[in-house]
Structure 1
């Protein structure tokens, strides 16, 4: 043991002597003296008394049923692997040379939240905007976009059984309609221009809105006069997308909303047979008499309705006008019309249509997700309906997307209303955070709440419990008008709050809870925005109302109604280029600007009468950027220990170009920050772009407990550093539970860590490629 130790000491002396010409000569001398003393001490004592100058080295392992007892390591097993050649440092010159491959590793476990499947060949798509149910219960779906290319999915019996291929890339996208017969699947899709190419694509400036034909396995099915690179596309319009599809016999009906027409094609030859006029034509359902029911969407003051037409286009007298926001229609096995009503009722309306349409029933709880305890997820509480259908056995299928495309919630019910299965794809460009008061049992994303059971297998540890957005009571909720993507969960005076930021750090939104009146709903409470670089409004467009014309602002919901009022803005103007946001455990808000006096602190001034956190520009504190940074980015401050962690670019490790979304090249820790200390305890060089190709860069960071966690943008590798020393500890990568894969990290808060009371660290990482958040568990 001592011989091995002496070899390590000798090696370390050599490393330190090589550094004798560095600017940190005093530090090197100190370490040499320390090591000399250590050699003497270790001749009398075992290595179990070594200090933090070394780190434990254990074999990397991914387990399936990890428990604390299964990964505990005996003390003597740890100590025999402590080595002195891997020393901590306060200087970039040493830290940058300690690669992850050289340091010890602790076993960790991969899991995920927010999707019914972990990836690989199975995941639930980001959204479902149209749906068709075959008689045998096969579900065909369509949407405009899925990050991993599943714009159009095929589901059955609660499982993913396929997708329609080639819907992604080359300026292609999905659409808002889908149907099928016993031979083909037909999906609405978009084909854009791709520049000069020797294949059949639209010319520059032109978009084809198509119907594309597939065989039942999901492969494109070309036809003689087909268009596109593989001759499987029918161009329906160059003005606007196809809004409805249905088949009966050998005829395909297509809603061409741009020309207010229904076009009819032969399902085999795909040649147009005829067309007829229908205003605002949308979704189509065909009854057993082969007549068409066509959803005609509302337009301004013109209300929505559902009309009945003959196959040749004759308008029949039957129509349904007692709907507010119909989004989808279908015919069930009793020849009844099912209407997805996305207004305040949030139900499926059921009509007998033999003669005059009569509503004979409803499906789902009236009020949907907002009935009973608002926001509480239950089987029959629907929300944001986008699809409805029925199979030959009378089972009913409903898809809820939430509001502002919150995510997919596809459910199958028996005719009596029993939920038979549910498929979830709730997350896209999002990350999670844990409620500190429940030890990580309650976890939130921007619109959802989950209950965690860490004893369950991978992918089964979460249960979807709450949808926190009420689009009807709070129509000005910023989540309906912007795209927030990461959550801070904080407790202020024991009360829970959510803080949300976005991909470009352009704002910070604040939400409160009032369970007695609003159940699980997060109520808009406040909002920060930055200054626009061109002296324009901070947020483009007409929302929010009364927004200042220039500069930046803080909004607080002073009257408690969740709406933006003229007298609720605090105004200012500042440097326009932001680096990041942070909310500390006391509720103080921190913001970094990429300039010399680039730190802004907004101390919490208490809670107002409605429970909203109070912040103001008059109480804001400006703090100078420490001299080590030339371009300040992220900030995380911990008031309990008066410890500050900052990241950015430095003179020693400058930026290549101006990638505004990355963490920088270094992270530094500052102790006694509020006492004025600006000398870092340590500086660690993190992966950053040195070539201008952006292949390697750190996208996000998070500090929790014993560690500093970072994640790289394109490879999604989590690098773990010792929070006390800055020394790299290990690297976390997606395990086999998620097929060893991840999408790019797109957001500044793309990693969030939480230390539980048992000492383990939970690490959430954005994974928008296949619609989830990856979760790592790093034991104590």
Structure 2
């Protein structure tokens, strides 16, 4: 019997549905079933936000840059521990991505935090693992329980080509060929750090900072044989001056790295840089004039220039507004408004190159920062070009208070839809201020800000962020008059203990609510309310904030919880409490609920999940489920089932065809597959309208949507819909533009099917 034809027996509990006539339900189910895999392709334009390049030509800006090296001709070589599509080591010039090295992602490979070039080679700090012992090969991967850190040598003209310096153990194995150009530096137990955090090269000599071993190691640049070493306290970045001496950042594990000067043989010279007391030096370079450049990731957010005067080095000039993006209108991006400096370099013409990632160097295995930028400045300070890769594991949501304004997890963008695809966005605001609000949970709960829902409550805008695993909900308020673009931590609903262990002053056990009662944006000990209801509320994948401010959470087999919006407190924070919460049982026909989207305007609830006839598959644990039901009169205590809709579910397809997220907007339900295909249903009947897929503007490709809230939609005044989909493969959010025509309706048994497209192709 079709799912929609089932009658639901009353259990006497609140909010259980009463059925529509069986004949009507069966008809709706039949329509949905017939259309599930035969939806017409909708006429959409594919655009995107957050990345300079959309992959239409195969280019994208990587999501993180933690190190750079600049060749005399202005080519910039970058490195980072992680880019979702393998561009950890990339090459840029004149605002274009020229390509990426590859071999730094997957099969145990990872990027790193240092890179250097000479006339023949690029030397790249990398890591090599064994995928928990699954990769086995003598000399190719470390033994089980071990991790390698070292240097991959590549051809300078084509970094995809490994420059071997030792025989390959197997010439037919590409991984063995890569190992022939890998210099092992540290072999450590899994979980220990052994990164190479600084590299510098001449045509004859390579210098490497072995940070964990407190030494500089010196290699022959051609044979890669170690020639010598000398002791330095936690060395980091290295820059080679024109006279052959070396500048090395030391004591990099502490709060105040220093910049020391060494002769080529390791003898320490007596002219260290007089760094300002508040500086946090993260990179060093030397220009053709002999000036030493320091990338300062402290409160100044500047590049500092030191020149020798009367036999000693002195700070002579700077590049960048003092305070960076946090000066003036806090969070407003622009030329010389740096944000989280990670690298600095200079070419033969004196042009300066600056890399930032929103927070500064991070040394976690996959620390992705908060948005990568690479900028070039002329000697007079004019910005020559910029590339941006600003988003990772992120979604987008229209600003309810401003037209053409869009929030992501910790950024704001402005739209101009009159421009061509990919040029319709402008980076307008960075929402996180680590200097003013160091307790911001962005820095202590997960590596990424989270998926946004923006709501206007009592005339004020609030941003609600779910994390990648739907464990907790973060709440932010805005006060543009005092804070600029900054989002102030305002509230937090915690889930499991492990995810919130680093939240300052948090009660043990997780499962608590925090509200910024004194308005200082800090997690003060007296601002936490533990859950004392007796029912543990952690767990579940479905967070939703409705237009009236109520928070809903679908909790698998434990039903649905509703936190009622209790207004604003004296500091402008939204009030939520365990005492003002309603628990709803799992509504028939479900055995597990994965998403619950409530529409206060129609008192309708859209629930997705699994039923006994369409059961949960543990191999697909983030999905919305296999069935959607719309309930009307939800608040009556006796809701009506309007329709039941079987959802796409083919786990044997390549790529898999399931649904990972959904939203309701205007006349439609929008649901997205893990590879970016969006299915559109009429929200009043449940019948299929059509589907959207990535177009040629983005290479007909999408990364894996693997977050529970990775889609949103907004209906514009002219009837056009903007549909945003997380696309974490290449540092952006997809934006589908769709305007239903006057004759747009549910599909009429069309046999037109959409082609499958590539995943991370």
Q: Do they fold alike, i.e. is TM over 0.5?
A: yes
Separation of aligned partners in 1, 2:680 and 2:64? 34
Aligned-partner SS, 2:635 = helix
Give 1:166-315 correspondences, 5 Å limit: 166-193=103-130, 194-197=134-137, 200-216=140-156, 217-218=158-159, 219-224=161-166, 229-230=176-177, 231-239=180-188, 240-300=194-254, 303-315=256-268
Match in the other structure for 1:61: none
Offset at residue 694 of structure 1 (A): 9.0
Aligned-partner SS, 1:737 = helix
Separation of aligned partners in 1, 2:618 and 2:575? 38
Separation of aligned partners in 2, 1:169 and 1:138? 26
Separation of aligned partners in 1, 2:624 and 2:529? 29
Separation of aligned partners in 1, 2:181 and 2:510? 51
Separation of aligned partners in 1, 2:40 and 2:246? 67
Match in the other structure for 1:520: 485
Separation of aligned partners in 1, 2:413 and 2:267? 51
Offset at residue 299 of structure 1 (A): 3.6
1:396 aligns with 2:352: yes
- TM-score (ref. length: structure 1): 0.86
Offset at residue 622 of structure 1 (A): 1.6
Q: 1:571 aligns with which of 530, 555, 559?
A: 530
Separation of aligned partners in 2, 1:692 and 1:482? 35
Unmatched tracts of structure 2, length 5 or more: 8-18, 170-174, 189-193, 363-368, 741-761
1:434 aligns with 2:398: yes
Match in the other structure for 1:603: 564
Aligned-partner SS, 2:331 = coil
- Report how many residues are paired: 694
Separation of aligned partners in 1, 2:587 and 2:263? 75
C-alpha contact (below 8 Å) 1:394/1:415 kept by paired residues: yes
Q: 1:637 aligns with which of 598, 605, 623?
A: 598
Aligned-partner SS, 2:702 = coil
Match in the other structure for 2:635: 674
Q: 1:560 aligns with which of 519, 522, 527?
A: 519
Separation of aligned partners in 1, 2:565 and 2:623? 28
Offset at residue 182 of structure 1 (A): 1.1
C-alpha contact (below 8 Å) 2:494/2:500 kept by paired residues: no
Offset at residue 550 of structure 1 (A): 2.0
Distance 1:295 1:420, change over 3 A: same
C-alpha contact (below 8 Å) 2:48/2:422 kept by paired residues: yes
Match in the other structure for 2:60: 123
Distance 1:516 1:576, change over 3 A: closer
Match in the other structure for 1:776: 736
Separation of aligned partners in 1, 2:235 and 2:20? 76
Match in the other structure for 2:545: 583
Deviation track 1:436-469 (CA, whole Å, cap 9, x = no partner) reads: 2334x00011111100011111100000011111
C-alpha contact (below 8 Å) 2:197/2:236 kept by paired residues: yes
Separation of aligned partners in 2, 1:676 and 1:28? 19
Match in the other structure for 1:419: 383
Offset at residue 100 of structure 1 (A): 4.3
Match in the other structure for 2:86: 149
Aligned-partner SS, 1:606 = coil
Worse-matched range after superposition: 267-276 or 740-749: 267-276
Separation of aligned partners in 2, 1:588 and 1:507? 15
Worse-matched range after superposition: 546-555 or 306-315: 546-555
Distance 1:238 1:538, change over 3 A: closer
Offset at residue 333 of structure 1 (A): 2.4
Offset at residue 599 of structure 1 (A): 1.5
Separation of aligned partners in 2, 1:234 and 1:226? 13
Give 1:495-510 correspondences, 5 Å limit: 495-510=460-475
Match in the other structure for 2:269: 316
Q: 2:727 aligns with which of 761, 764, 767?
A: 767
Offset at residue 752 of structure 1 (A): 0.9
Match in the other structure for 2:757: none
Distance 1:139 1:622, change over 3 A: same
Aligned-partner SS, 1:255 = strand
Offset at residue 232 of structure 1 (A): 0.5
Q: 1:448 aligns with which of 402, 405, 411?
A: 411
Separation of aligned partners in 2, 1:560 and 1:589? 22
Match in the other structure for 1:593: 555
Q: Which has the larger radius of gyration?
A: 1
Match in the other structure for 1:476: 439
Distance 1:551 1:392, change over 3 A: closer
Offset at residue 672 of structure 1 (A): 1.6
Separation of aligned partners in 2, 1:381 and 1:773? 24
Worse-matched range after superposition: 246-255 or 670-679: 670-679
Match in the other structure for 2:752: none
Separation of aligned partners in 2, 1:693 and 1:249? 48
Offset at residue 320 of structure 1 (A): 2.2
Q: 1:487 aligns with which of 447, 452, 457?
A: 452
Separation of aligned partners in 1, 2:195 and 2:721? 47
Offset at residue 300 of structure 1 (A): 4.4
Aligned-partner SS, 2:549 = coil
Separation of aligned partners in 1, 2:264 and 2:138? 40
Separation of aligned partners in 1, 2:721 and 2:581? 33
Q: 2:423 aligns with which of 454, 460, 463?
A: 460
Separation of aligned partners in 2, 1:300 and 1:161? 36
Match in the other structure for 1:50: none
Offset at residue 653 of structure 1 (A): 1.3
C-alpha contact (below 8 Å) 2:242/2:288 kept by paired residues: no
1:386 aligns with 2:342: yes
Unmatched tracts of structure 1, length 5 or more: 1-17, 32-87
Of structures 1 and 2, the one with the larger relative CO (CA 8 A, separation 6+) is 2
Give 1:592-741 correspondences, 5 Å limit: 592-596=554-558, 598-657=559-618, 659-688=620-649, 695-713=656-674, 715-741=675-701
C-alpha contact (below 8 Å) 1:90/1:725 kept by paired residues: no
C-alpha contact (below 8 Å) 1:167/1:174 kept by paired residues: yes
Match in the other structure for 1:35: none
Offset at residue 357 of structure 1 (A): 1.4
Separation of aligned partners in 2, 1:186 and 1:656? 45
Separation of aligned partners in 2, 1:292 and 1:122? 35
Distance 1:139 1:658, change over 3 A: closer
C-alpha contact (below 8 Å) 2:500/2:510 kept by paired residues: no
Worse-matched range after superposition: 235-244 or 167-176: 235-244
C-alpha contact (below 8 Å) 1:426/1:771 kept by paired residues: yes
Give 1:65-80 correspondences, 5 Å limit: none
